[in-house]
Amino acid sequence: MLKGQAGPLLLVFLAACFRLCASLQAPGQPLGALLRRDNLSAQALLQHHNSTESLRAAAIAATGQPLRPAPVLAFVTPWNSRGYDLAKQHRCRLMYVVPVWYQLRSVGGVLQLNGAHDVDVGWMSAVRQPCVAADGQKHVVRVLPRVLFEVHGQDVQEAFSQPHAVAKLLATEAERHGFDGWVFEGWSHFVSLGVTKHPGSRQLALNLLQSIFSGLVSHGRRLVLAVSPLVPAPGRPLQLTAQDVQDFLPFVDALTVMTYDFSGFSKAGPNAPLDWVQQNADAFAAAAGRLRSKVLLGVPFYGYSYVLKGKRVQSADAVLAGTLLDVLKQQLAVAAAQEAAARGSEEEQAQRQCSEEQEEDSEGDEAEGGRAGSCAASPASSGSSSSSSLRISWLDVEREHVFRWRDAAGSGGTQQQAKPSKGAKHALYFPTPVMLAERLAVAASHGMGVSVWELGQGFDSFCSLL
């Protein structure tokens, strides 16, 4: 490259970056662009991901179906403070807020509740501030911490043999902190231990749950069970039966169903394909009958990112909205840099051609006793443009968006992933507003509610759909 070209090329590159920044701030992307399927743009996601305007009307128009599932439960976790803020901000849309705080464990044969150090009394007070719900009624959200059953071996039978002691442990903790009940996650653990294979031990497990419920309901508190799907993803074990559902529903207040993690880490694919969610909604409706309103279909606010070598998964990570936003910004910057490089190449070619012509003219002018004039680079062609490898595709069967791109030389993967090899292929499956709207519509059409894992993991704009 000629020394005199550095300045013009730098200006071209800066101009391309300026156009990128301007495109992200331009008012040309309407809010409804978030609900597009086939032509969803990176610019729309970057411009409106944290919008406080409601997407409900646009979502109803996009799906052609009502979207108000009831009730709505949302998980929050101590390691994601944004979820705590969103729970306060959108408390009128939620019936239950579930902080992931507790574990039930056995230490030396003695059952203990761990997790009280995560209890945030100030946040609970704030999230319970009365508000006016969409129906015009005064609303106060209920706080039900999750407790994860992490007892193993002989201690499981010990817990089953003293259900009232376990129930008292939970009831006392709820009374001490003013909880509105518990979300209990343990049935899948019982299944994995083989407890439910034997009628006698299965009944002991049911007795434990019924005792926990009795200890709560007598004080106006609630019990929600976290359960696996009735229709498991291919290759996954069955961890819940229709009989289980029919045994639970008469005494629990709700079932929160984990209809996500369909593909997981081993195979690149959708997180919650709609046909699978629909199959589970149908199965729960058949099992629950008139109690189907107690079923809360799970919707994910997170995604999965895969680095691929051919069709094989080289690495995989669960990712949050920030990762996707970084990818979109990076890929738009790549497009801007490629455009600048293309313009610079044309600039260099024009400069070289001009210099050659100047040299020829100089020889002629010197022969005539004159002096060659200066050479000005011609402007780059306005038709020249280049783009990054990013492709945003809508999967017609699974009804999800996937973001695909290939690394250029010297670039890496997402922040969570180790730097992949040069030219590695990426596939990132992440929920978008229209993807979530279609799953909310399934829940509403079946007379069911939804449970969100978890607030703060997705775009802030997701909350306006609830």
Neighbours of 108 (CB within 10 A): 6
Structure tokens at 39: 């032509």
The pLDDT of residue 23: 47
Determine the Cα–Cα distance for residues 329 and 327; give it in Å rounded to an integer. Answer: 5
Structure tokens at 214: 């009795």
Q: Decide if 24 contacts 49 (C-beta within 8 A).
A: no
Task: For residues 285 and 191, state if they share a domain.
Answer: yes
Q: Which of 421, 394, 417 is nearest to 409 (CA)?
A: 421
Task: For residues 273 and 308, state if they share a domain.
Answer: no
Kindly list the averaged pLDDT for each block of 10 residues, start to end, along the chain of length 466.
44 47 56 89 91 80 78 96 96 97 92 96 97 90 98 93 96 98 98 95 97 96 98 96 98 98 94 98 98 98 95 94 95 82 62 53 41 34 49 96 83 53 85 95 96 96 92
Q: Decide if 229 contacts 197 (C-beta within 8 A).
A: no
Tell me which DSSP letter residue 27 carries. Answer: T
The pLDDT of residue 381: 31
Q: Decide if 216 contacts 187 (C-beta within 8 A).
A: no
DSSP letters for 125-148:
HHHT--EE-TTS-EE--EE--EEE
Task: For residues 256 and 181, state if they share a domain.
Answer: yes
The pLDDT of residue 6: 46
The pLDDT of residue 324: 96
The pLDDT of residue 29: 78
- Look-up of token digits 């590159």: 13
Task: For residues 207 and 258, state if they share a domain.
Answer: yes
Structure tokens at 311: 């069709």
Q: Decide if 251 contacts 210 (C-beta within 8 A).
A: yes
Residue 211 belongs to what domain range? 51-301+434-465
Tell me which DSSP letter residue 465 carries. Answer: G
In a domain, 425, yes or no: yes
How many domains is the chain partitioned into structurally?
2
Residues 6+ apart with CB under 8 A from 169: 104, 111, 113
The pLDDT of residue 414: 58
In a domain, 199, yes or no: yes
The pLDDT of residue 108: 84
Determine the Cα–Cα distance for residues 127 and 415; give it in Å rounded to an integer. Answer: 32
- Look-up of token digits 């290759």: 235
The pLDDT of residue 235: 93
The backbone torsions φ and ψ at residue 189, rounded to the nearest 5 degrees and listed phi first, read: -65, -45
- Look-up of token digits 């550095």: 6
Task: For residues 216 and 316, state if they share a domain.
Answer: no
Neighbours of 397 (CB within 10 A): 9
The pLDDT of residue 149: 97
Tell me which DSSP letter residue 348 carries. Answer: H
The backbone torsions φ and ψ at residue 283, rounded to the nearest 5 degrees and listed phi first, read: -65, -40
Task: For residues 309 and 236, state if they share a domain.
Answer: no
Task: For residues 395 and 453, state if they share a domain.
Answer: no
In a domain, 285, yes or no: yes
**CATH number of the CATH domain containing 90:** 3.20.20.80
Determine the Cα–Cα distance for residues 303 and 7; give it in Å rounded to an integer. Answer: 43
Task: For residues 319 and 211, state if they share a domain.
Answer: no
In a domain, 320, yes or no: yes
In a domain, 18, yes or no: no
Which residue type does 65 have?
Q
Task: For residues 267 and 198, state if they share a domain.
Answer: yes
Task: For residues 97 and 203, state if they share a domain.
Answer: yes
Buried b (16+ CB within 10 A) or exposed e, 80-100: bebbbbbbeebbbbbbbbbbb
Which residue type does 242 have?
A
The pLDDT of residue 377: 33
In a domain, 230, yes or no: yes
Task: For residues 196 and 233, state if they share a domain.
Answer: yes
Q: Within 13 Å, how many C-alpha atoms sit on residue 223's CB side?
A: 24
Q: Decide if 242 contacts 280 (C-beta within 8 A).
A: no
Residues 6+ apart with CB under 8 A from 241: 230
- Look-up of token digits 């010297």: 410
In a domain, 149, yes or no: yes
Ranges of H-type helices in 5-104: 6-25, 42-48, 56-63, 81-89
Q: Decide if 151 contacts 190 (C-beta within 8 A).
A: no
In a domain, 356, yes or no: no
Task: For residues 178 and 219, state if they share a domain.
Answer: yes
